[in-house]
Structure 1
Amino acid sequence: MKTDTTGVVNGKANARAPEVIASKLDEIRDQVRGMIQRGELRPGERVNEQALAQHIGVGRNSAREALRALEQAGLVRIVPNRGAEVRRLSLEEAMDLYEIRAGLARTAGRLAALRLTAEEERSLSALIDSMDAAVAARDTPEYQALNTEFHSQLMKATKNPRLIKINQAVEEELTLYLHKGVYSYTQMQRSAKEHHDLFNALRTGHAEAAAQAFENHVQTGKKRMLDTVSTSESDR
């Protein structure tokens, strides 16, 4: 079997080639996105295409395409004659995003309450138990990871791919302002109670109660973020 660089196999076009390329670019974008979310690439930091390509083991063209895609997602800014840099997000922009996120949460809570399956209920219940254990152990990193997973599973329970995609984009953009939420023990306790209230509304199918509970939970997250910013500025 002979294959040339145009993706032709034995004289026939390889129909899988575009799919393979798209899948590979998705993987590269996810890797770069993860570096931004973990703080390995900080807001305002310039991103050297060649260094990035070498770091993740891909060609420079692939790295460039990934950065262009992340620019469309609002995570990267490409400056003429300077290249790419991780976008800075202002407090005002973060507030705007929280308003959008709260609205999405209200819709998600309502839909999830109406569409939650028995298997999804069991999975969310297990996460609630694990979060309670993390609070008792005062394990903030574990609680943060479980909180993220709880939100992810709740969004999946909406069975609305467009809503899930939009919410993910908003959450990813918010990581440009704060990479990780900061929880005191009291905040973890409050957050855990909010999850219990939300889960009870979901499992009993009370759509409006779930919508309100999820929106309130996001608004509380916004307040925690503002408290964190205020504390950080007072320490300077």
Structure 2
Amino acid sequence: MLEVKNFTKKYKNGKLAVDNISFTVKNGEIFGFLGPNGAGKSTTIKAIVGLIKKSSGDITIDNIMIEDNPLLYKSKFSYLADNPLLFEKYNGISYINFVADIYGVSKEDRDRRLNKYLDYFNIRESMVDDISSYSHGMKQRLAIIASLIHNPDLLILDEPMVGLDPKSSFNLKKIMRDRADRGKMVFFSTHMMEVAENICDRIAIISEGKIVAMGSLDDIKENLSEDKSLEEMFLELTDVK
């Protein structure tokens, strides 16, 4: 389980980016993290993966804190950034092998997983080409495969559908659902309300650094006494005009 408890991030300039938020992502669920630009989504994700330090609060994965055991903590998850930076002088297969070596993935396991995901994301023929020659969408697909190659307990995705073609987007959603059904965790941010509405078991909506709604879609509708779409409720809760 991923647990974020009383997390606050305040920058040196005094800006309060995230204000005392708490949530959990349970084994076997897809958890959507929604909010407008500047709401605190990326700040929260960067704190979870260890790219920025917390001002206060606790973040644990399976009761492990990054401060106590950084290697074990980081072995629990994969992180796909909204604009992933890849080693562009590598070709596709060298990059995947590099990532697999870091996580100690056996040749048998990496070959089996890679063979499956290359078909899912239609990138097989480009794996011998330098990454510098890839389109944005191809880089995104390669980064997704890299995030899956060690079969992490927790998959953290920041706007994962951006730049994907319809088939790749469909297959990524299928993978996310399959992982949750097998007891793993998926935590992702998105601006695509339809995607969140269709595949998330629970969601949290963050606005101006605070969580303004959390739970299943039905729970949120009941709490607000509203029978509206997620998009309509999102706009109301975040005061987006």
Q: Which has the higher helix share?
A: 1
Q: Which of 1 and 2 has greater Rg? A: 1
Q: Which has the higher contact order (CA 8 A, sep 6+)?
A: 2
